[in-house]
Amino acid sequence: MTFLPTLGALVMLVLMRGRPLLYKYTALATTAAVFVLSLVMVFKFNQNTASFQFIEKVNWIPRLGSSYHMGVDGISVLLILLTTLLSLVIIPASWNYIKDRELSFFAAFLFLETGMIGTFCARDLLLFYVFWELMLIPMYFIIGVWGGPRRIYAALKFFLFTMAGSVLMLVAIVAIAYLARPNHFAAPVFDLDQLQNAVFSFPVQLAAFLAFFIAFAIKVPMWPVHTWLPDAHVEAPTAGSVILAGVLLKMGGYGIIRFCIPLFPDAAAAAVPYILILSIIAIIYGALLSLVQKDLKKLVAYSSVSHMGFVTGGIFALNIIGVEGGVLVMFSHGLLTGSLFLLVGFAYERLHTREISAMGGLASPFPVLASFLLFFTLASLGLPGLSGFVGEFLSLLGLFSYNKAMAVIAAGGIILAAAYLLWMYLRTMFTETRDEKWFKLSDLNLREISALVPLGALAVWVGVYPATFLNIINPSVTRLVHQMAPYMAQHGNFLTRFLAALGGRL
């Protein structure tokens, strides 16, 4: 799965220049093959163990103590399935919408797929960092070359924000790799299995945790390091926005679960209340900003800030229900927000505008588009029976177990989501038609519908029978929560103790 997309991209670049139909079908066949492999992985995955599976480990750079160490657990499996599905979907969705340097565009997405899958599989910190940075390069070009009028500004902002966090993380990686050595003459330790057995002092844990967390918080993105996201989404081409929202944002949540918490448990437990406060701010802040957006794409972008707040909120509740909810929100958000960006892109190709005020009455000329938009709008606002409800409900339950007041405030984000999404739908679909020429335009075609149907089907599956997915992630989540239990008990519930102390003084 990891390197098949790179092989496909190289074949396209070397042998298929000037043959658009051939390289498009090659890109489609490559992503389809990778998706099939991911399905095989899911079916062969043993759901009854928290151990990593499909392990590959060979010496890579022995002098540095780094190995090519790959493997997946329940969390990785779910996110890889999401990655391969969205990668397959965006190829036909972009079929006729890229007019310049088509070959390079499709090749860039295949290189990006290698980076994304490798990031979810890497069990060696140095290898993880290589894949993490590998993602940055093709996405930079996807935004900077095929983006909108301010694409260079957006690409540079995306690059600088991500790179700043990555440099901090690299310093922390090197530091803990040297501190984990059994003696001064041994090679650094980059292997996660060995690092999780290492014992670091609290100051070291805190410094390393902050470095890792800042890198992942930028990618999520959490408030207040979210400002690169709206620009990147608005200027990126449709396929870029889908992958950015559907997969790249999930790298932040995944990194927190995989590295921040298990490697630095004492620091993570101490940081819980502060990160939960930031998460709640992100939920409410992102929702309020979505309410006032005039650009349809920017509205969906700011909604991602709000929804991803449920991810970090559920994860840092650090109980089984909360962490499972956070992981399921990541999966669901990839399906739903990816679909919303596809629909915005399909509408833009026809109307040549994303301004909400310029739209209106679109349900009449585009009934199929309006139907799909209604479905994914209802799923995103948390309608029971669809995927958006399950993850956010579990995340709130986990947060409620930690602190009731926090959960009540966070639940306000769901109310605001219903407000900005339904208001958006009303203004774009059911007000007076702005332009009679729209009736001469075609509705969604079969190729565009085929990109949306599998995402919608999965959204229903998660909403109706979430146990299919929860059974996959439960052993890994349970292991993480049990590992953190003594540290959480040691640090206690900060807010409860603070409020009790405040009440005593009053």
CA distance 123 to 44: 20
- Return the percentage of the chain with pLDDT > 90, whole number: 40
DSSP H or E run through 66 = strand 66-72
Residue 74 has pLDDT above 70, yes or no: yes
Determine which of 160-164, 350-354, 401-405, 437-441 has the lowest per-residue pLDDT on average.
437-441
Distances (CA, A) of 342 to 69, 155, 373: 35, 20, 10
What is the average pLDDT across 6-16? 90
Per the listing, tokens 């901090």 go with 168
The reported pLDDT for the residue numbered 499 is 46
The reported pLDDT for the residue numbered 350 is 84
Q: Cα 460 to chain center, whole Å?
A: 19
Is residue 426 exposed (0-12), middle (13-18) or buried (19+ Cβ within 10 Å)?
A: exposed
Report residue 332's pLDDT band, with 50, 70 and 90 as the boundaries: very high
Determine which of 180-189, 371-380, 456-465 has the lowest per-residue pLDDT on average.
180-189
Residue 327 has pLDDT above 60, yes or no: yes
Contact by Cβ (8 Å): 300, 340:
yes
The reported pLDDT for the residue numbered 238 is 85
The reported pLDDT for the residue numbered 502 is 46
CA distance 160 to 145: 17
Per the prediction, the chain carries an average pLDDT of: 87
The sign of the CA dihedral 157, 158, 161, 163 is: negative
CA distance 158 to 143: 9
The reported pLDDT for the residue numbered 462 is 93
What is the average pLDDT across 230-248? 86
The reported pLDDT for the residue numbered 506 is 43
Indicate the pTM of the whole model.
0.89
Report residue 505's pLDDT band, with 50, 70 and 90 as the boundaries: very low
Report residue 493's pLDDT band, with 50, 70 and 90 as the boundaries: low
CA distance 400 to 445: 45
Closest to 257 (Cα-Cα) out of 79, 7, 2: 79
Q: Which two tokens stand for residue 265?
A: 């448990």
DSSP H or E run through 71 = strand 66-72
Closest to 241 (Cα-Cα) out of 148, 326, 350: 148
Contact by Cβ (8 Å): 45, 78:
no
The reported pLDDT for the residue numbered 496 is 52
- The Cβ of residue 272 has, within 10 Å, a number of other Cβ atoms equal to 24
Q: What angle do CA 382, 385, 391 make, to 5 degrees?
A: 50
The reported pLDDT for the residue numbered 29 is 93
The reported pLDDT for the residue numbered 213 is 92
Residue 299 has pLDDT above 60, yes or no: yes
Contact by Cβ (8 Å): 321, 398:
yes
φ, ψ at 430 (rounded to 5°) = -125, 10
- Return the percentage of the chain with pLDDT > 70, whole number: 96
- Domain positions in the chain are 289-506
DSSP state, 226? -
CA distance 373 to 340: 7
Per the listing, tokens 């679960």 go with 257
Closest to 81 (Cα-Cα) out of 130, 121, 41, 21: 41
CA distance 107 to 221: 27
The reported pLDDT for the residue numbered 49 is 85
CA distance 378 to 431: 19
**Whole-number CA gyration radius for the chain:** 22
Report residue 501's pLDDT band, with 50, 70 and 90 as the boundaries: very low
More reliable by pLDDT, 435 or 350: 350
User: Would you call 506 helix, strand, or coil by DSSP?
Assistant: coil
Partners of residue 68 on adjacent β-strands: 58
The reported pLDDT for the residue numbered 363 is 84
Contact by Cβ (8 Å): 133, 203:
no
**382-425 pLDDT, tens per residue?**
899 998 899 899 999 999 888 888 889 999 989 999 999 999 99
More reliable by pLDDT, 385 or 200: 385
**46-56 pLDDT, tens per residue?**
988 888 899 99
The reported pLDDT for the residue numbered 135 is 87
**307-325 pLDDT, tens per residue?**
889 999 999 988 899 999 9
More reliable by pLDDT, 440 or 212: 212
Residue 484 has pLDDT above 50, yes or no: yes
- The Cβ of residue 321 has, within 10 Å, a number of other Cβ atoms equal to 21
Report residue 77's pLDDT band, with 50, 70 and 90 as the boundaries: very high
Residue 373 has pLDDT above 90, yes or no: yes
